[in-house]
């Protein structure tokens, strides 16, 4: 896709940084598989607001979930043997977790207890869930990324219905990652990190998908990661190596570039704030949460992150 004329640039600022007291400077199983065995003190992902304005984030390599209060106090809600990645608020008060090691889980934010939602499909473990969203009817959409890529385009996109049925919508994804539904919930956008693109999946009346296509193409060492949408249908794409969030209009044309004031590994994004028009981004390389003002409110999704 063309980025000319150059879209306007939007500045960010640091909203909050992980305190030194909770950073873990050690090698983890996750860092051995994803960072060449380097010491990784944190890797933030999955920003998700609850109705009270608390921001939840995960620390993937150390199996932790934090709650950041409006006063910017960091509270550890859970720590367990897992690799939590994506989060989504559920109207029943639970926080759903896409966990790379354990499947789809649910967190009770008041007690810190974690329970399984779905851990296997037909007795087979998932490759490694990455992100998830909840539709208006309660269906859960999630990506099963694992270590897939252009060398192994076998990543999957699933829908878990409220009656327990599990539909495989896509089985040839080269690293499916973040995902978001349009306002009508008849189109699902999926970030394909190693294809450096965003795919568009039309959702048909019978529950299947057809004529899947590339909505946008990017460049760089890594690729698109987490995504969100505003009320005008503009798509916000966090890029995990270019240090920004790209904003695309409903036609896939670039209209803005939200520049990181921190590191280059911008992994996920959500709307929040008093009027739901502030964009919050996880800067995973620095252990920061960034923010930027936007002129349109985030999409009204009572089951999605944000108020």
Q: How far is CA 22 from the centre of its chain?
A: 23
**Closest by Cα among 201, 199, 203 to 215:** 199
pLDDT for position 91: 87
Q: Is the peptide bond before 20 cis (omega within 30 degrees of 0)?
A: no
Q: How many beta carbons lie within 10 A of that of residue 210, not counting itself? A: 9
The ranges assigned to domains in the chain are: 8-293
* Count of other CB atoms within 10 angstroms of residue 168: 11
Task: State the pLDDT at residue 1.
Answer: 57
Between the CA atoms of 277, 233, 242 and 220, what dihedral angle is there, to the nearest 10 degrees?
170
List, edge to edge, every strand of the sheet that includes 95-99: 84-89, 95-99, 103-107, 114-118
Q: What tokens were used for 37?
A: 């065995």
**Largest separation between any pair of C-alpha atoms in the chain:** 51
3-state secondary structure 20-38: HHHCCCCCCHHHHHHCCCC
pLDDT of residue 16: 98
Q: Are 258 and 244 in contact (CB under 8 A)?
A: yes
Rounded distance between C-alpha atoms, residue 259 and residue 245, angstroms: 7
What confidence score (pLDDT) does residue 23 get? 96
Looking at domain 8-293, its CATH superfamily turns out to be TolB, C-terminal domain (2.120.10.30)
Report residue 276 as tokens: 């739901």
β-sheet with 8-10: strand ranges across: 8-10, 254-259, 244-248, 235-239, 224-229
Q: Give the residue among 126, 115, 71, 48 at the shortest CA–CA distance from 306.
A: 48
Q: Which pTM does this prediction carry?
A: 0.95
DSSP 8-state secondary structure symbol assigned to residue 54: P
The pLDDT value recorded for residue 303 is: 40
Structure tokens at 138: 């309660």
Contact (CB, 8 A) for 120 and 126: yes
Q: What is the pLDDT along the chain (307 residues), one digit of tens a residue?
A: 566 778 899 999 999 999 999 999 999 999 888 989 999 999 999 999 999 999 999 999 999 999 999 999 999 999 999 999 999 999 899 999 999 999 999 999 999 999 999 999 999 999 999 999 999 999 999 999 999 999 999 999 999 999 999 999 999 999 999 999 999 999 999 999 999 999 999 999 999 999 999 999 999 999 999 999 999 999 999 999 999 999 999 999 999 999 999 999 999 999 999 999 999 999 999 999 999 999 999 997 544 333 3
pLDDT at 301: 59
| CB of 254 closer than 8 Å to CB of 246 | yes
């Amino acid at each position: 896709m063309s980025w000319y004329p150059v879209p306007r640039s939007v500045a960010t600022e640091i909203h909050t940084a992980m305190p030194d007291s909770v950073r873990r400077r050690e090698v983890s199983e996750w860092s051995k598989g994803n960072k060449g065995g380097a010491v990784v003190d944190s890797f933030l992902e999955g920003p998700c607001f609850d109705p009270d304005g608390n921001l939840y984030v995960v620390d993937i390599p150390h199996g932790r979930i934090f709650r950041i209060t409006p006063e910017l106090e960091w509270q550890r809600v859970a720590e367990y043997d897992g690799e939590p990645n994506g989060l989504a608020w559920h109207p029943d008060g639970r926080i759903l977790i896409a966990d790379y090691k354990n499947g789809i889980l649910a967190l009770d934010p008041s007690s810190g207890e974690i329970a399984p939602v779905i851990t296997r499909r037909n007795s087979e473990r998932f490759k490694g869930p990455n992100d998830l969203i909840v539709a208006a009817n309660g269906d859960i959409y999630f990506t099963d990324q694992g270590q897939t890529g252009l060398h192994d385009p076998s990543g999957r996109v699933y829908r878990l219905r409220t009656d327990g049925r599990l539909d495989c919508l896509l089985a040839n994804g080269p690293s499916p990652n973040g995902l978001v539904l349009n306002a009508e919930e008849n189109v699902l956008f999926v970030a394909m990190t190693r294809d450096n693109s965003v795919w568009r999946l039309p959702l048909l009346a019978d529950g299947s998908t057809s004529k899947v296509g590339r909505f946008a193409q990017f460049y760089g060492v890594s690729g698109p990661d987490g995504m969100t949408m505003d009320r005008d249908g503009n798509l916000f794409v966090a890029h995990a190596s270019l240090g920004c969030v790209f904003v695309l209009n409903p036609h896939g044309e670039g209209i803005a570039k939200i520049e990181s004031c921190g590191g280059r590994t911008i992994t996920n994004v959500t709307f929040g704030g008093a009027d739901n028009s502030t964009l919050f981004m996880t800067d995973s390389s620095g252990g920061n949460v960034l923010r930027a003002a936007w002129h349109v409110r985030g999409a009204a999704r009572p089951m999605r992150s944000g108020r």
